[in-house]
Amino acid sequence: MQLSDLVTRMMNEPSPIRQIMKMAEKQNIINMGLDPDEIISYGGGWVGHHAPEPLRREYARICGDVESFHDSGKYSPTLGFDECRKAIAAMEKELFGVSLSTEHIIVGHSSTQLTHDLFVALANPGDRILLFDPTYANYPGQIHMTLKDARIVRQPVLDTGRWEYKSEDEMAEDFKVLHEREKPKMTIIPSPDNPSSQIFGDIFINTIADVCQDTDTFMVFDYAYKTQCFINPPGYFSWSPADHPSMIAVHSNSKWGRGLGRRLGWIDADERVIDAMERVQQRSILCPDTLHQFAFTRYIEHALEDGSLKRYLAEIKNAYRKAAEVTVKAIQEYLHLPCLIPQGGLYTLMKVGEDGDAFVKRVLKHTGVLFIPGKGFGDTLREAVRISYGPHVENVAIIEEGFRRVADYLKG
Ligand SMILES: Cc1ncc(COP(=O)(O)O)c(C=O)c1O
């Protein structure tokens, strides 16, 4: 059987993250002589908190009523239902002060699909795309899939000596030089970031905005973790595409309300970008999911009105902040290895001082504790691992136990 060259190449070069996740599958764990029930995983790139109860009740209401359920089986407009786009605009205004009208919004299946479609809508196969190093591991594969001969240009943002992000001024200078030299069509900015949980500051982002505006290129914010921001939100969190036509903001329902499997996302951007995305999305998914839009819209309308959305998000944010603190404290107390202080999101990065792959395999085999090797996120993380506290947010006691185990092994 002859598969496409693209997919054959992908299958021959599985990502390091995929390899480790395979290694951590139940049968492999048993083959290593370990008990699968004793594994402590810091590998999961997902959230462990519960969705808002009124949202669950909304699904129950739709599914419990014959006609509502029937209605939720119809196609949605490609751009999403107007009511849903209005609810998104109201939510963005209330939570972040972003001014949007429905013309600025397209609803999609997820931020993964929307990002894929954005590459098709905005760039040509030979274009250059600027990614930071480290950055979210899925982007390079998505770029190669949509834009075959695209060149990925990497800007290192982590100072691997001091194990902290470079100063904003330094990042801004690096960006100007790199952008001038490579002329990328798009710059992708996850903030808060996966894997580093850092939030880029206003000085750096203002520089990117000025350069993108002057060169008529795009800056794409990936806001998958926007509501899990532990520091004072930067000014650009409230930017609207009406004031910044070169900015595109990709949003996801996955992380804020534990909707990872109830797939829904949206983009806000200049109307011309939304128009282009409508054409592409018509071909990729035809339209977003109707049931999720119905439940989400009703929930948001009510939760904005009675103030419960803000209360829910504040609670969730505090739970992740606490999980982050417990994680950093355990690393400092047991392992004494450098790690980043999370400013939002679900992760920290720990410098292990040896090849990250080898460290992860060795530690898993001897302790049953799973980390993610850093390499898949960029060259700056060759000697680092990503640690996720996201799945443990409702059971933070387990976080410490894993580091204690690893410390015992490394000592002895
Ligand atoms: C930065 C970032 N963007 C996007 C996604 C995927 O989001 P979605 O579930 O909306 O496809 C993830 C998932 O981990 C992520 O970390």
191 lines ligand 1 (CB under 6 A): no
254 lines ligand 1 (CB under 6 A): yes
Q: Say what the pLDDT of residue 333 is.
A: 97
What does the longest C-alpha to C-alpha distance in the chain come to?
64
Residue 175: which residues within 8 A CB-CB, separation 6 or more?
Answer: 155, 187, 204, 207, 208, 211
Q: Which CATH class is domain 53-306?
A: alpha beta
Q: Between the CA of residue 306 and those of 158, 207, 268, 312, 403, what are the distances in Å?
A: 42, 39, 25, 11, 42
Cα(412) to centroid(ligand 1), Å = 38
Phi/psi of residue 8, nearest 5 degrees: -60, -45
Q: Give me the residues paired with residue 370 across strands.
A: 41
The answer to whether domain 5-51+310-411 and domain 53-306 are alike in fold is no
112 lines ligand 1 (CB under 6 A): yes
DSSP 166: P
DSSP 392: G
CA quadruple 322, 327, 329, 332: dihedral, nearest 10: -160
Answer with the residue of higher pLDDT: 81 or 22: 81
Which residue owns the Cα nearest ligand 1 atom 9? 254
For residue 120, pLDDT over 90 is answered with: yes
Q: What is the pTM of this model?
A: 0.97
- Average pLDDT over the chain reads 96
Closest Cα partner for 327 from 374, 406, 387?
A: 387
Average pLDDT of span 255-282: 98
215 lines ligand 1 (CB under 6 A): no
Binning pLDDT at 50, 70 and 90, where does residue 20 land?
confident
Q: Say what the pLDDT of residue 32 is.
A: 85
Task: Please state the domain extents for the chain.
Answer: 5-51+310-411, 53-306
CATH 3.50.50.60, domain 5-51+310-411, yes or no:
no
Query: 331-366: per-residue pLDDT in tens?
Result: 999 999 999 999 999 999 999 999 999 999 999 999
Q: Give me the residues paired with residue 384 across strands.
A: 351
45 lines ligand 1 (CB under 6 A): yes
